Structure 1
Amino acid sequence: MSTSSPSLRLLLTSLVWPVYLPGLLTATAQTAILVLLPLYVLELGYSPSIAALMLATRGIGQLAGDIPAGIVAGRWGDKICLMLGAAAYVVGYGLMTLTDVPLLLGLGGVIAGMGMSFSLIGRQSYVTTRAPVHQRGRAISLMAGAMRVGSLLGPALGGLAAVKFGYQATFLVLVLLCLLSLLIVFLSADRGEPEADRTPHSFIAIIQVLTDHRQAFLSAGLAMISLQFMRAGRVVLLPLAGNAIGLSVAEIGLVVAAAALMDSLMFIPAGIIMDRWGRKAAAAPSLLLFACGLAALGWADSYLSLLLSALLIGFANGVSAGLVMVLGSDFAPATGRARFMGVWKLVSDSGQAAAPLAISALLTAGSLLLCSQLIAATGLIGLYVMASRMNETLIKKTGP
């Protein structure tokens, strides 16, 4: 990431403590939970369906938290939103530490999922108010990159800790990570100014946001739903494709890790592309290559072909690092900014929440090949909508 501009260096430095480091810590915790929680439920003697349900609780919490997070960020400021997000992680994972009852474990997952919404919207709003448009892509892609690094660390470190110390002791370590994140935010984040907008936050207000900004939601919004749909789909399809061709768990793990590494290497170029050539310059190759990678995934019949498909998917996902948040920031109005971001995140998260359900239905009715091709087709539809309807939001800097 180029830092030739002193203002860019100062901007990124100012975001390290309140945004990037807490993002790294909480991403490490939340991705560790994605691996550990279902395995813990299985170890307790419950069925795989109950274990899968535990994973769904995070998505439920995210959807439930998107609108309230926007309300809090707008009415009481970014710092309060960030602190509530970190506190919700602490409460959610703390509940998991104290219980072995699936209902309470699921409740912990919902609370932690809401914490994720508050943290992401708080960080997005925090960066948006401090980064000019021509630097926003790099600032937000670096935020996405910190989360990707955490996503690499979480499963590996969490798995090692669970083997050595047990699940609940590991959950306690994750609680401590989130407590550290809360402390860092408390000490380093600027208080910021709440928005002057006092429009009542109601269902009608949400509909009003969708109506007032329908061009953005019907163009960029639909494209980002398709991107999020493919992102969630690849998490489910990669292990299933490996299992279908007879790979071992270790081999599948290496494929997933290789894709994650490729993804993590691309967040710096993604920010540069968005700020230098525009948001559409990042969105178009991401959607196209993502669709190609998922289509190829369905035809993979060997370890090498699966690995190549996974690497292409990882590359495509990395090129769009931070894109959903950058577009949400770009389209957000000056008045009612945080409320718009909450609705934007709710809309984009719907694609992520729908993918596992759609894949389950498609696999029941058809084959893995058919499923992968249909999911890939959604990416091509998103590409068409983005290319034909979405306005470029990058405003080039004209002065020195």
Structure 2
Amino acid sequence: MTSSGAPFQLRQAALPVYLPTLLFAAGEAAFIPIVPVIAQNVGANLATAGLVAGMLTLGIVTGDIPSGWIISRIGERMAMLWSTLVALLGTALALAATTPLILGAGIFLIGLATSAFALARHAFLTSFVPLHYRARALSTLGGMFRAGAVMGPFLSAGVLALTNNPLAAFWLMAAFTLSAGAVLLFMPDPEKTFGQLTRVKDESGVSLYPGEIEVEKETHGLMATINKNKAVLAKLGVASALVMALRSGRAVIFPLWAVSIGIKDSDTALIIGLATAVDFALFFTSGQIMDKWGRLASIVPSMIIMSVALLALAPTHDLPTNVLWFVITIFLFAIGNGIGSGILLTLASDLANKDNPAPFLGAWRFITDSGAALAPLGISALTAALSLAVASAVTGVAGLIGVVMMLVYVPKYLPRKKNLVP
């Protein structure tokens, strides 16, 4: 808590957290739809292009492990600044890439930076925002991320249409990342904006802000926490990992499909941007569904719709109307994803120990992010061995397995008032 007597206002968090988040998210979203095109330009086949695209989520899950410790040692603001530098290095590698390996390495670095940046901004709000404002602050943070995810593809579509150069998407990433770094570098000292904070010593005696202690707890003793909670993580954790696999699969399958059926890269970015806007528009609907009808009322329809979208896409590759089916299924997927917004964080909060939630939340995030990281690898392997259509169908079936797991295990592990069990 701050010791300043001035009343806290949510807009105080705009400069140090919300604007950099918006910029960073927009930069990432600008290049994600175009990665398969760039990968093919440096010699990748369709399967390898999927593997390269998956390096982002692999970088994120790898970064989950050390990020909490790093933030607890150098602070939230410095962690975000260093993250922008690592992201810029990754972007430079991607721009200079002449092989899929170098391109993948650059995207992997961006994933590492994304993990640390995301955890640092969460810790920042935990440290500096009073408890009774925190839910709104974190909700707004999620909204900024989604707004950036909408902005990026639209801007990318415009720039690609003007330049006819797929690498322009990475130049957008560089510009947005530099802008985020500049905001962080030149912003006022947080304690001057938010008020002086009382530091607390962690177990090793290091003096830290409250948010820094929380993120350190999330990643300290990760394997021990997973082992302690192995029953719920092996069931609801795996089911949630399948949700993340669906979402991560969307970010690989649809761009690859667009390349495979010959959609222009600028048109691909535009279609993905419009679909992301639909997803964003349903963001608050998800919370209303969960609060009124329970967790299952959000997650089950969400997973069914996303799975059906991928299953419906699978047989359409060689149809004369394949572009129309691409548009229909990507928008259907967006609707499903939108009505499930925030469900995994909500489930994690429901399941975590209320007195010390951070270790469980860290373990949960690691399990679910692992699902997101493994999906592109599986999609790439299936595409190489069989076809992209088979990869899409298998991902859809995996989602339906997740539906069954949710129906079985949510009633078992959550209080009745939080699910659909009468």
TM-score if structure 2 supplies the norm length? 0.73
Is residue 224 from structure 1 mapped to residue 225 from structure 2 by the alignment? no
One-letter amino acid of the counterpart of residue 224, structure 1: S
Which residues in structure 2 correspond to 1:288-307 (within 5 Å)?
288-300=304-316, 301=319, 302=321, 303-307=323-327
3-state SS in 1 of match to 2:404: helix
Which residues in structure 2 correspond to 1:251-400 (within 5 Å)?
252-300=268-316, 301=319, 302=321, 303-333=323-353, 337-390=357-410, 391-392=413-414
One-letter amino acid of the counterpart of residue 179, structure 2: L
One-letter amino acid of the counterpart of residue 47, structure 1: G
Q: Which residue of 1 aligns with 2:26?
A: 28
3-state SS in 2 of match to 1:48: coil
* Residues 119, 335 of structure 1: alpha-carbon distance in 2 compared, 3 angstrom cutoff: farther
Q: Which residue of 2 aligns with 1:214?
A: 230
One-letter amino acid of the counterpart of residue 25, structure 2: A
* Residues 36, 283 of structure 1: alpha-carbon distance in 2 compared, 3 angstrom cutoff: closer
3-state SS in 2 of match to 1:149: helix
Distance 2:263 2:346 in 1: 38
Distance 1:204 1:270 in 2: 32
3-state SS in 2 of match to 1:120: helix
One-letter amino acid of the counterpart of residue 237, structure 1: I
* Residues 92, 329 of structure 1: alpha-carbon distance in 2 compared, 3 angstrom cutoff: farther
* Alpha carbons 1:124, 1:325 under 8 Å: kept: no
Distance 2:66 2:104 in 1: 20
Larger displacement relative to structure 2 (198-207 or 303-312) = 198-207
Match for residue 143 of structure 1 among 141, 163, 172:
141
Larger displacement relative to structure 2 (336-345 or 72-81) = 72-81
Deviation for aligned residue 1:127: 5.2
* Alpha carbons 2:157, 2:270 under 8 Å: kept: no
* CA displacement 1:151-184 (0-9 Å, x = unmatched): 2222332454575597586554234223135347
Q: Which residue of 1 aligns with 2:179?
A: 177
* Residues 324, 197 of structure 1: alpha-carbon distance in 2 compared, 3 angstrom cutoff: farther
* Alpha carbons 1:23, 1:147 under 8 Å: kept: yes
Is residue 48 from structure 1 mapped to residue 50 from structure 2 by the alignment? no
Distance 1:100 1:133 in 2: 48
Distance 2:130 2:226 in 1: 25
* Alpha carbons 1:73, 1:338 under 8 Å: kept: no
Distance 1:331 1:127 in 2: 22
One-letter amino acid of the counterpart of residue 181, structure 2: L
* Residues 142, 56 of structure 1: alpha-carbon distance in 2 compared, 3 angstrom cutoff: same
Distance 1:202 1:132 in 2: 19
* Alpha carbons 1:270, 1:320 under 8 Å: kept: yes
Q: Which runs of 5+ in 2 are unaligned?
A: 1-7, 205-212
One-letter amino acid of the counterpart of residue 68, structure 2: G
* Alpha carbons 2:278, 2:331 under 8 Å: kept: yes
Deviation for aligned residue 1:284: 2.1
* CA displacement 1:316-358 (0-9 Å, x = unmatched): 1112223333434444446765444443222112111211221
Match for residue 120 of structure 1 among 115, 118, 121:
118
Distance 1:244 1:106 in 2: 20
* Residues 366, 147 of structure 1: alpha-carbon distance in 2 compared, 3 angstrom cutoff: same
3-state SS in 1 of match to 2:221: helix
3-state SS in 2 of match to 1:47: coil
Q: Which runs of 5+ in 1 are unaligned?
A: 1-9
* CA displacement 1:45-66 (0-9 Å, x = unmatched): x312576665444333212210
3-state SS in 2 of match to 1:259: helix
* Residues 243, 25 of structure 1: alpha-carbon distance in 2 compared, 3 angstrom cutoff: closer
* Alpha carbons 1:28, 1:151 under 8 Å: kept: yes
Larger displacement relative to structure 2 (20-29 or 292-301) = 292-301
Deviation for aligned residue 1:90: 4.2
* Residues 389, 128 of structure 1: alpha-carbon distance in 2 compared, 3 angstrom cutoff: farther
* Alpha carbons 1:90, 1:179 under 8 Å: kept: no
Q: Which residue of 1 aligns with 2:3?
A: none
Distance 1:202 1:131 in 2: 21
Aligned residues: 384
* Alpha carbons 1:77, 1:195 under 8 Å: kept: no
* Alpha carbons 2:34, 2:269 under 8 Å: kept: no
Deviation for aligned residue 1:94: 5.6
Deviation for aligned residue 1:388: 1.9
Runs of 4+ that moved beyond 6 A: 131-135, 199-204, 243-246, 393-396
* Residues 160, 78 of structure 1: alpha-carbon distance in 2 compared, 3 angstrom cutoff: same
One-letter amino acid of the counterpart of residue 115, structure 2: S
Distance 2:56 2:414 in 1: 33
Distance 1:169 1:359 in 2: 28
